[in-house]
Chain A
Amino acid sequence: MSLSRKDIDEIMHLLEASRFDRLSLEMDGLKLELVREGGARGRGASTSPTRAEAVPAAMPAPTPAPTAPSRREPVEGRAQAEGLVEIKSPLLGVFYRAPKPGEPPFVEVGSRVEADTVIGIIEVMKLMNSARAGVAGEVVQILGENGEMVEHGEALMLVRPD
C-alpha cells in the first residue's frame, strides 16, 4: 500500500477544510503526519498552510525556496581547519536521518561510525538509497536537515576520523 502525491494532496485538503490541527495516519507500515501551521508547534518553520511530514515510503515535503544560502563554504572551512572529513550525499534527493519517523536517527553527534555504517537515507522518486559513512570515526556535526533536499556531493555530516 502506498500513497500517491494526489492522495496526499487530497488528505491535505481535507485537513485544511477541517477544524483539526494535526492528522496522523498509519496503515501497513506507512505513517503520514500532517500538521497545520499554527497547530502543534516545535516542528520547525513551515511555509505552506499545511505541511506534510511523511515517512520515506510516502512523499517528500516540498522544499519551497530555491535560493537558500549554501551551507558548503563555511563547512569546508571547518572541515579543513580541524582535519574533519565530510560525509557527502551520494545522490540528489530527500535526506532522512531515521529509518522511519518516530524512530531514533541512524546516528547522532558523538556516534561512532565505520566506513559501511548507514548514516541516512536518500530518497529519489520513492526509491530509498542508503547513505554510508565511507569513513571510520566520530560524528561531530550533522549538516543535512531531515526531510530536506540535498544535492549530489552535499556534505551531510562531519566526522573526526580515527
Chain B
Amino acid sequence: MGIRRILIANRGEIAVRIIRSCERLGIETVLCVSEADRHSLGARMATKAVCIGPASPAKSYLSVETVVQAAMGYGCDAIHPGYGFLSERAELASLCETEGVIFIGPTAAQIEAVGDKLRARSEAIAAEVPVVPGGPVGTPEEARRLAEEIGAPLLIKAVGGGGGRGMKLVEDLADLHATMDMASAEAGAAFGDARVYLERYVREGRHIEVQLLGDGAGRVVHLGERDCSVQRRYQKLVEETPAPRLPPATRDKLLAAAVRFAKRLHYRGAGTVEFLYDVGRDEFYFLEMNARIQVEHPVTEMVSGVDLIAEQIAIAGGEGLRLRQEEITLSGAAIECRINAEDPARDFMPSPGTVTHAEWPKGEGIRVDTHIVDGAMVPPFYDSMIAKIIAHGPDRASALQRLCNSLGMTRIEGIATNLDFQRRILADPDFAEGGIDTGFLARLLEKEPA
C-alpha cells in the first residue's frame, strides 16, 4: 500500500519543497503550521493546513505528541519531518513506530546511532571509515595524555553538540584544562550533557559530504558529494557539487567510505555523511552523519536529476531503493546560495518583517526554493533562511556565471538580506578558482567587513 496522505511537520521553504513533490506524485498533504505561519505560502499550497500551536517552536513544531496526534487525527499515512525541528529526534520516529504511522526517515535506532557523536565515531571505526585522531576523555590525566598524542592545535567538542555548536579550540596545550572545564560546563548547560571529547584540529580543511539513499535492508547508493566549505561560524552559506579540485582517487575513496558507513547501519532513507577533508595531508576524516534531508540537497538533484524527496517517500512507502548505483549519472556542476533574512552590515543580525516585494530569478539551469512571495512574513521565531538559489551548468564556470546573473536579477524588499554579501562571495577570485577551505569566509570578512 502506497502513501496517500503525508503530514508535513515543518515550515518555510522545505515545506513548500515537499508539497511540490507530493503534488507531482498525487499525494495529499496536511501541513502543520504555527499561529505565525497560518498565512504562509505552504499553508496555501497544502491540501490542508492545521494550526498545531502558538508561534514558539517548543509549543508547535517541536511538540512530538501534537504532530503525531495531527497525523493520526487527519488520517495521514506518513510524517515528513523536513530538516531541523523534529527531523532527527528519535522520539518522533519511535512514537510513529508505536502508533503505526510511517516516519519518512530512518528508524529510531538509526537516528540514535548517528545522533550520539561518540557512538557514530565508533561505528565509523568499525566500518573502516577514517576518523580524526582523538577520542573521549574523562579525567584530566586522560585528557593530558591524549592531547599529547594528538598534538596542538586541537578541538574540544561537546558530545551532544552539532552544527558547529559546542566546540573550542586549544592552540597551546598549557590551556587544555581551563578550556576543557569551560567547554564541559557550557555543554552541560546547552545540551544537558557535559561530556566532551578531543580531536585533531585541521588547519586547512574543507567540508565535503556525501548524499546517500539506503533501502533499510543493507543496500545503499551515493549521489555524489557536495562541498560546503563556505561557512560563517559553522553555518553553511554556499554549497556545490562536485567538490572542486578534489583528487579523483580521493573522491572515490570518500564516496566508498560513506557508503560503507551507511551499509553497516542498514540505513533507511536519505542521509548524508559529512567529512573533513585535510587539504595538506590529502586525507579525509568522518565528522558525522545527518539522518535527514539536508538544506543543500538541491545541488545534488540538479546534477543527478533525482528527486530526493520522492525517493524518500518511495523508500518509506515500502518501494525500496528504485535506483542502482550504475543508473545514477551526475552531469555538470551546481552551486547553491542560501539567502538569509539577516543584515551583514549589523553583524548578520536577523531581520524579520514583511517582504513587501520579491522577485526571483528565472532562466536556464536556475532553480529557486523559497516560500517568500509579495507580502510574506518572516517571523522572528525561526531560522532566518528565506530562500535557496541554485544554478546548474555543464561545468563549474558556467554554473557560477548563471548563479551570479541570477543573484543580480533577485529583488527582496522590506527586509535586509545577505544577497549582496553572497554576490561578493561569488565574485571573490579564490572562490571562483574553487577548492577554498572553511576559513575562507572569515578571511574575507577580516579583509573587508560586510
| Interface positions of A (Cβ within 8 A of B) | 5-6, 60, 62-67, 91-94, 123-125, 127, 149, 151-154
Contacts and interface: CB of A to CB of B under 8 A. Distances in A.
Interface of B: 5, 28, 30, 35, 47-48, 50-54, 60, 65-66, 68-70, 72-76, 95, 99-100
Nearest to A123: B69
Contacts, number: 64
Given A62-B73, A64-B75, A149-B50, 15 more contacts: A5-B100, A60-B72, A62-B75, A63-B74, A65-B75, A66-B75, A67-B47, A92-B50, A92-B70, A94-B73, A125-B69, A149-B73, A151-B50, A152-B54, A152-B60
Contacts of A123: 69
A15 to B, nearest CB: 19
Nearest to A4: B98
Contact of B53 (A64, A67, A149, A152): A152
| Interface core residue of A65, A91, A94, A127 (most chain B CB under 10 Å) | A91
A123 B60 CA distance: 16
17 contacts: A5-B99, A62-B75, A63-B73, A63-B74, A66-B75, A67-B47, A91-B53, A91-B66, A92-B50, A92-B51, A92-B52, A92-B70, A124-B69, A149-B70, A149-B73, A149-B74, A152-B52
Contacts of B5: 66
A63 B60 CA distance: 21
Contacts of A93: 66, 69, 73
Nearest to B50: A151
A5 B73 CA distance: 13
Nearest to B7: A66
B75 A154 contact: no
Please classify the interface of chain B as helix (H, G, I), strand (E, B), loop, or mixed, using the class held by over half of its residues: mixed
A5 B95 CA distance: 12
Contact of A154 (B48, B51, B76): B51
A124 B48 contact: no
Which 8 residue pairs of A and B lie closest in terms of their CB atoms, listed nearest first? A149-B73, A125-B65, A66-B48, A151-B51, A152-B51, A92-B52, A152-B53, A66-B74
B66 A92 contact: yes
Contacts of B28: 66
Given A5-B100, A127-B65, A152-B35, A62 B72 contact: yes
Contacts of B75: 62-66
B30 A66 contact: yes
Contacts of A62: 72-73, 75
